[in-house]
Amino acid sequence: MTVKSTRLQHRNLPLVLLQARERVLSHFRPILNAHGITEQQWRIVRVLYEKPSLEPREIVELCRISSPSMAGVLARMQELGLVHRRRVDHDQRRVRVSLTPRARAMAARMAPQIEATYRRIEQRIGEHFSERFQQSLDQLLAMLPEYESGQAAGDHPLQSKDGGAAGSVSDAAQ
């Protein structure tokens, strides 16, 4: 009888991505701390700084914050005077979230520090590597569909209809 190996053959990609995220974020944390803002709050401020008004579900998607957490984060941000929530005129069930003038001013003060940090990171890793890395991340996001836990058995997004792997290298090159 042959004993099957239980060793995993692939490197732990989710863990490596988390470690990379943590390493990068460590350079930005002092700026966030100095302005009294959390990482989740900054993600929301950054998105709303670029898109003036969004619905909470859009913020959830863009900022990768769970829906239950989003309600609490937005409530705290409203208490701090960072966001304003208003009902949509034609549908009172819907809400739009926007930054307050105070939050916009804070983001404007933080922007030069954030940009300087990006420049320091880019100096350290190289402009060419930074560009290639960001392009690779964009490609990964485009090529790898998000797995939905409610999918029917056999409908795994990495399987094509014929049972083979979806999104082959030749598909990606097109």
In CATH terms, 38-124 corresponds, of 1.20.1730.10, 1.10.10.10, 3.40.50.300, 1.20.1260.10, to 1.10.10.10
The DSSP symbol for 6 reads: -
H-helix or E-strand spanning residue 94? strand 91-99
Query: What's the predicted TM-score (pTM) here?
Result: 0.79
Tell me which of 172 and 4 has the higher pLDDT.
4
- What is the model's pLDDT at position 90? 86
| pLDDT tens, position by position, 123-143 | 999 999 999 999 999 999 999
Domain boundaries, the chain: 38-124
Q: Cα(169)–Cα(45) distance, rounded to whole angstroms?
A: 37
Q: Cα(147)–Cα(168) distance, rounded to whole angstroms?
A: 17
